A and B are shown apart, each in its own frame.
Chain A
Amino acid sequence: MRTSCHDGGPSPADLLQAEEVLATGEQVIQVALAGQPNVGKSTIFNMLTGLNQHVGNWPGKTVERKVGFYRHNGRLYRLTDLPGTYSLTANSEEERIARDFILRERPDVVVAVVDAAILERSLYLLSELLMLPQPVVLALNMVDVARQRGLEIEPHVLEAALGIPVVPMVASRGQGVRELMDAVEAVATEGLPCPPNRPTIREDHQAVLREIAALIQGAVPPPYPEDWAALKLLEGDEEVTALVRSHLAPEQWEEVHRLLMQHEDAALAVAGARYDWIRRMVRAAVVQPRAGRITQTDRLDRVATHPVWGLLLLLLALGALFWVTYTLGAPVQAWLDAVVVQGTAAWIRQTLASAPEWLVGFLADGVLGGAGMVVTFLPILAIFFTALGFLEDTGYMARAAYVMDRFMHFMGLHGKSFLPLFLGFGCNVPAVMGARIVDTPKARLLTVLLAPLVPCTARMAVLAVLAPIFFGGSATLVSWGLVALNLLVLVVLGTVVHELVLGGEHVAFIMELPLYHTPNWRTIGLSVWQRLLAFLEKAGTIILVVSVVVWVLSYFPSGDIQASYLASAGRGLAAVGRLMGLRWEFMVALLTSFVAKENTIATLGILFGVGEAGEGLAGALRGVLPPAAALAYLATQMLFIPCAATTAAIRQETGSWRWTLVSLGLLLAVSLGTGVAMYQVARLLGWGV
């Protein structure tokens, strides 16, 4: 049975309508969607809101915020997707955001999404949500997967035990979505019929909890409930501890602190009590599976998480992805460039034939150069994001992270950093933005700093054009060598930065391996769409601006690039260039690659006096550089500072200009240093000069 997702189906018109209604002051029911990671929360969000959603960041945070609207029985609902968290103790930014939203914004209803197949574990978040004052509806998702695992759950029994509405769902197939909307409506309009069952703490800790509650009475600022704050103190919640401390007289705080020190094990006891409560809640409602049942996940994981087979499978998956990207994406990219971008450029030149030369150059080279680069990149990114969405949605990505964990540890990272770094092969911008899934700030920073060393498709394109010109038949060998060099530098730099700059701190690796799922194309499609949109919004505008700026520098003051500001800058770098056997033109080409890596080729074309790339460029460049210098140049190009869009992403994700400049400086030093070292070593050996 298939239930339609909501009245009328999603369309941009709905969103418009929603905003208009907001302007007229119609009452909007606020709903928050909470759940642990991997429970199908996004699928439910997408089913309810469709394209009627906006993806942004939580104010001042690099955590994604999704807000959407839907209508049900004539009422308007505003749905906020809270970050996926395992608990509500302020261990991470995500957890702080989730609980602050519920406490401060006071949504009319909180929907707690749980995975029926791992009911006990995913109810843990519910046990915390029930301690907050807002009413909760339980979305019991993936009942089909639970059934396959031999787990039968009776929703009505669970409902009676918990005292809140329980809606069984298979969100990926749209089942239960309407029932969920009905349940939310009932709670929003009529409230809960009776107070829900709340977890209690064990006997041995109840006395101390009461003592703490009495001590902090009147010292907990709203919106935090006092009994909840007392419990969080006992759990060692840093945020609540700091809050209460600042509101208590020092001698009272001393007393609280003394009690807390006596009960240092309380965090474990509180969590244990919640799980005991969950056991009692589900006991009557669940028929447990027979032990030792071999599931599909078991069978797949025998290969996917194996240190040898898992690695081979991962290499195979990555190989397939690159193959698709280059056989499908590259021709489309080339076609877009040749027909759409060059066509438009030609059209501009023709139409504005009588306009001043600088205006034509500004539009055709500056503006179109940037915009064209963005447009031609979309197909490759679309392929990458689709593959990524597929691997994430099936549950495989967690296995890839697990298999890669042992390698990532060398550089102070753990498995979770593999995903963003891997994304870098497509484009460094989503790689940098993807680093937010890494859970500790230091490891996140390191991932961001290392991401630009992953050779992106743009750099690979440059390599594909220049390597054959310089090295003819050995081009493939040289290319592989340079890619390997990039990854080697990544590992070495990662290890060094981890040890020297970040203090060599051990990073904890704790990650859930979700059950495998049949992918939901709607979820994947929406994630591709949102990621492309984010790329366009963030990278697109920056590429355009920088492209125009660089064009201005390459055109003025005289209109001749050889005498431009850019050329002066290149000549300034000529001293470094000489150390690796390069003329100033190559240094300028490196500089322009800051806009977009492919600009290198166009710049070389202009500086060596060929109009368009291709045979002309090959002819002009052949013999200009001895092999050692050519190799040094290509290595520097591959390792050079990230493009403008990536730099902007680094600034945004680190929230710090200092780290952005550190990143640029580091890569500048590493790339030039490598180039010089390669050339000088080759010279000493008397090879290829």
Chain B
Amino acid sequence: MNVGTELPLSALRPGERALVRRVSGGRGIVGRLASLGFTPGVEVTMIQNFGRGPLIVEVRGARIALGRREAARVWVQPAVVPSEV
């Protein structure tokens, strides 16, 4: 996984940070996510992600719970290269 690849937010593991690149979807959902702070360039931190079910992410100092499908609409670029396991 290289810096520069775009991932869906739902692929981030707990503790990982990333920069938001774009938000895909209809205007309604994009508008909702944008007003909550998910705009291009912002840093997000994954707080909780068990690989299934909803997840929690921190953006602009607030914690937001997202369904997996909603999280998959936010495309991010990892800020740090995650260590290979």
Find residues 1-46 in chain B having any chain A CB closer than 8 Å to their own CB.
22-23, 27-37, 39-42
- Bound Cα distance from A91 to B30, whole angstroms: 11
Interface pair B63/A513, CB less than 8 Å apart: yes
B-side interface residues, number (CB < 8 Å): 35
Is B56 a contact of A305 with CB atoms below 8 Å?
yes
Which of A275-319 touch B at CB < 8 Å?
275, 297, 301, 305, 307
Query: Which residue of chain A has its CB nearest to the CB of B69?
Result: A506
CB distance from A238 to the nearest CB of B (A): 8
User: In the complex where A271-B39, A405-B53, A405-B67 touch, is A120 in contact with B30 (Cβ < 8 A)?
Assistant: no
Given the known interface contacts A87-B35, A275-B39, the answer about A508 and B60 at a Cβ–Cβ threshold of 8 Å is no
When distances are taken between beta carbons in the complex, the residues of chain A under 8 Å from B22 are: 265, 268
Cβ-defined partner of B23 (8 Å) among A118, A235, A268, A511: A268
Q: Is B54 touching A509 in the complex (CB atoms < 8 A)?
A: yes
Which residues from chain B contact A388 at a C-beta distance below 8 Å? Answer: none
Partner of B39, one of A119, A268, A510: A268
Q: Which residue of A lies closest to B45 (CB)?
A: A291
In the complex, what residues of A have CB within 8 A of residue B34's CB? 267-268, 271-272
B54 touches A406 (CB 8 A): yes
CA distance A89 to B33 in the complex (A): 12
Is the CB–CB distance between A510 and B32 below 8 Å? yes
Q: Given the complex, which residues of A lie within 8 Å of B85, measured CB to CB?
A: none
- Report the separation of the CA atoms of residues A448 and B48 in the bound assembly, to the nearest whole angstrom: 31
Nearest chain B CB to A392 CB, angstrom units: 16
Residue of B nearest to A506 (CB): B69
State the CA gap A272–B21 with chains docked (Å).
Answer: 11
Contact check, B65 vs A406: say whether CB atoms are below 8 A apart: no
Please determine whether A510 and B30 come into contact, CB atoms closer than 8 angstroms: no
Determine if A196 is an interface residue (Cβ-Cβ < 8 Å): no
For chain A residues 498-529, which have a beta carbon within 8 Å of chain B? 506, 508-515
Report the minimum CB–CB distance from A175 to chain B (whole Å).
Answer: 22
Q: Do residues A509 and B31 form an inter-chain contact, with CB atoms below 8 A? A: no
Choose among A236, A506, A511 the residue that contacts B65 (Cβ–Cβ < 8 A). Answer: A511
**A236 engages B35 (CB within 8 Å):** no
CB closest residue in chain B, given A124: B35
CA distance in complex: A401, B66 (Å): 12
How far is A650 from B31 in the complex, measured between Cα atoms in Å? 31
Q: Which of B28, B42, B56 interacts with A91 by CB under 8 Å?
A: B28
CB contact under 8 A between A508 and B62, given known A275-B39, A405-B53: no
In the complex, A652→B64 CA distance in Å? 32
- CB pair B32–A86 under 8 Å, yes or no, is yes
Is A415 engaged at the interface, CB distance under 8 Å to the other chain? Answer: yes
For residue A99, CB closer than 8 A to chain B, the reply is no
Given A271-B39, A509-B70, A513-B65: A236 in contact with B60 (beta carbons within 8 A): no
CB distance A272 to B39 under 8 Å? yes
Q: How far is the CB of B46 from chain A (nearest CB, A)?
A: 13
Flag whether A604 is at the interface (Cβ < 8 A): no
- A120 with B61, Cβ < 8 A, contacts A405-B67, A509-B54, A509-B66 known: yes
Query: In the complex the two chains form, what is the Cα distance from A511 to B32 in whole Å?
Result: 10
The answer to whether B53 and A305 have CB atoms under 8 Å apart is: no
Say whether B29 contacts A508, CB under 8 Å.
yes
A117 interfacial by beta-carbon distance below 8 Å? yes
> Is there an interface contact between B56 and A118, defined as CB atoms closer than 8 Å?
no
CA distance A118 to B66 in the complex (A): 18
Contact B60 A509 (CB under 8 A): no
Could you tell me the distance in whole angstroms from the C-beta of A527 to the nearest C-beta in chain B?
Answer: 23
Smallest beta-carbon distance A507→chain B, Å? 8
Docked complex Cα distance between A643 and B9 (Å): 46
B65 engages A398 (CB within 8 Å): yes
Residues of A near B59 (CB, < 8 A) are 121
How far is A301 from B59 in the complex, measured between Cα atoms in Å?
16
A415–B65 alpha-carbon span in the complex (Å): 10
* With A117-B61, A121-B61, A267-B30 as contacts: A510 and B53 at CB distance below 8 Å: no
Q: CB-CB < 8 A to B56: which residues of A?
A: 301, 305, 402, 513
B53 in contact with A406 (CB, 8 Å): yes
Q: Is A414 an interface residue (CB 8 A)?
A: yes
The answer to whether A236 touches B31 (Cβ under 8 A) is yes
Q: What are the residues of chain B within 8 A of A271 when measuring CB–CB?
A: 31, 34-35, 39
CB distance A89 to B31 under 8 Å?
yes
Taking CB atoms, residues of chain B closer than 8 Å to A121 are: 36-37, 59-62
Bound CA–CA A112/B53 (angstroms): 35
Question: What is the minimal beta-carbon distance from A374 to any residue of chain B, in angstroms?
Answer: 38
What mask results when residues 81 to 113 of chain A are scored 1 for a CB within 8 Å of chain B, else 0? 000001101010000000000000000000000
CA distance A91 to B36 in the complex (A): 13
B25 CB to nearest chain A CB (Å): 9
Chain B residues closer than 8 Å to A120, beta-carbon distance:
37, 60-61
* Residue numbers in B under 8 Å from A511 (CB-CB): 64-65
- A15 nearest CB across to chain B (Å): 36
Q: How far is the CA of A600 from the CA of B36 in the complex (A)?
A: 50
Contacts of B31 in A (CB 8 A): 87, 89, 91, 235-236, 267, 271
User: Could you tell me if B32 and A512 are in contact, using CB atoms closer than 8 angstroms?
Assistant: no
Contacts of A235 in B (CB 8 A): 27, 31
Let me know if A118 and B62 touch, CB within 8 A. Answer: yes
Q: Which 7 A-B pairs have the closest CB atoms?
A: A509-B67, A271-B34, A87-B35, A236-B27, A272-B39, A406-B53, A513-B63
Chain B residues within CB distance 8 Å of chain A: 22-23, 27-37, 39-42, 47-48, 50, 52-54, 56, 59-67, 69-70
17 A-B pairs besides A268-B22, A510-B64, A512-B64 with CB distance below 8 A are A118-B61, A264-B27, A265-B22, A267-B31, A271-B31, A271-B34, A271-B35, A301-B48, A307-B50, A405-B65, A409-B67, A509-B54, A509-B65, A509-B66, A510-B65, A513-B64, A513-B65
* 18 A-B pairs with C-beta separation under 8 A: A86-B32, A91-B28, A118-B62, A121-B59, A264-B27, A268-B22, A268-B23, A307-B53, A402-B56, A406-B53, A406-B54, A415-B65, A506-B69, A508-B67, A509-B54, A510-B66, A512-B65, A513-B63
